Structure 1
């Protein structure tokens, strides 16, 4: 694994804001109920991206600090929040390696949406132990474990076209990436936040051709920066292959959102 945090999602922000599906509303009502959020708590969203967690969570907390190493992501998040009239999010440039530079006060909740795997997890959890209140929580939000849900057939079409341009090895910025062999729950279980509850929600998302193509440019491993001057050719080839696969243009995907809620043992 070799990458710099601030280069992972270079050039993806507009696509991320437009084409990522976001999280189901039930996630945020569940967190509010489970953790007793009543708009008096402070929260931190690490690796916030364009605010997929921070924006909907903001209605349940007093203030949320949304941190990301990519300025483009933060700019998109600010625009989305402003359009909704949200004023209790502090957008901060940074990453999990430099929490001490953010001057954070006591936190009741720290969230990581599809970002925990980018961090030094044990080191981060140790640092959070000094920031989170005794009754606070770490919440890791993401998808299911590999193999839990069968991927849609059209995704194989996307993989084949992308591999012709970028190869089979997954990229991350100017380096490469391999998913951690140890699961998030195992890491959390040996941390100060070893009491774990898991909640899951399934939904079917239907995308059209433009949405499937645009979605690919929101990922770190298939960003516009990764393709460079081959982006247009990749997009043309992908559109052709997907149209051959599904001439009617509908692409369904069963999406599972999983929230790991970790607190200190009582």
Structure 2
């Protein structure tokens, strides 16, 4: 998991939790049933950000250890948890590189959002094999990624055209959408201690107003306030004008959004107590 990159991720913090689509509640209901979550378990949320997975999971658990390399994300997660009255969260600054030195202790699950592709995946899964209890799992969840079988929203080309006019193709690393590894997560998991994989997903429609579509763009590292710099005001103005021309009534801007998860467990005979 990479550390904060030049403030790009830090500058997304005010927009991330507010404008990114939330994970489908059916994901948390499934994990609760599948792993008999009854308030006695501990779970690690690695790359927790501002708590998109942490906050919905915490009421089902004794403790969530929420780890992220960005101090501003940790601060925002704490703020959101306090506002929602959610307790039982141990917020920690760190990453996959510092995990084994953090004295996390045994956990039933390790959950990750979009952070897994930033890590040395093979090494991380070996490390997690020493932390995850028998019967536990690695859960990789995503929400809002593009899928060939989901029709992209008709307003998306409007946003993409404005991006092309404002983003510097020669900009610093992190100012463009993150490139995902060529080897799929499933293939990495199949070669890991957690080689039995269940794939699940749920689709729903998310409706946004014009301001929410603009805010969503500021939640991405490649169109974050830090990446846009002094061009932010021009970007926002251009985007608002383009979206207004597309939908003079201000929306709604509907999008079909998918929550999906890979739930990976050890195969039979391989489920041993973790090394302490």
TM-score category of the 2 structures, normalised to the smaller one: over 0.9
Who is 2:13 aligned against?
13
CA RMSD of aligned residues (A): 1.9
- Cα distance, 1:19–1:254 mapped onto 2, change above 3 Å: same
1:258 matched to 2:256: no
In structure 2, stretches of 5+ residues that fail to align are: 269-276
Q: Shift of residue 232 of structure 1?
A: 0.4
Q: Is the 8 A contact 1:200 1:258 kept in 2?
A: yes
Distance in 2 between the 1:193 and 1:77 partners? 29
Distance in 1 between the 2:183 and 2:52 partners? 26
- Cα distance, 1:134–1:172 mapped onto 2, change above 3 Å: farther
- Write out aligned runs for 1:100-115 (5 A): 100-115=100-115
Partner deviation per Cα, 1:114-167 (whole Å, 9 max, x = no partner) = 211111111111110111112110000014564232211211111111121114
Who is 1:83 aligned against?
83
Alignment TM-score, normalising by the size of structure 2:
0.91
Who is 1:66 aligned against?
66
In structure 1, stretches of 5+ residues that fail to align are: none
Who is 2:195 aligned against?
194
Distance in 2 between the 1:43 and 1:59 partners? 12
Partner deviation per Cα, 1:166-225 (whole Å, 9 max, x = no partner) = 145797536874221111111111110000111111000000000000010111111110
Partner deviation per Cα, 1:86-112 (whole Å, 9 max, x = no partner) = 220011111111102321110100000
Distance in 2 between the 1:134 and 1:127 partners? 15
Who is 2:207 aligned against?
206
Alignment TM-score, normalising by the size of structure 1:
0.94
Distance in 2 between the 1:198 and 1:234 partners? 38
Partner deviation per Cα, 1:218-243 (whole Å, 9 max, x = no partner) = 11111110000000000000000011
Task: Specify the SS of the correspondent of 2:98.
Answer: helix
Distance in 1 between the 2:243 and 2:97 partners? 40
Q: Is the 8 A contact 2:49 2:68 kept in 1?
A: yes
Distance in 2 between the 1:49 and 1:165 partners? 27
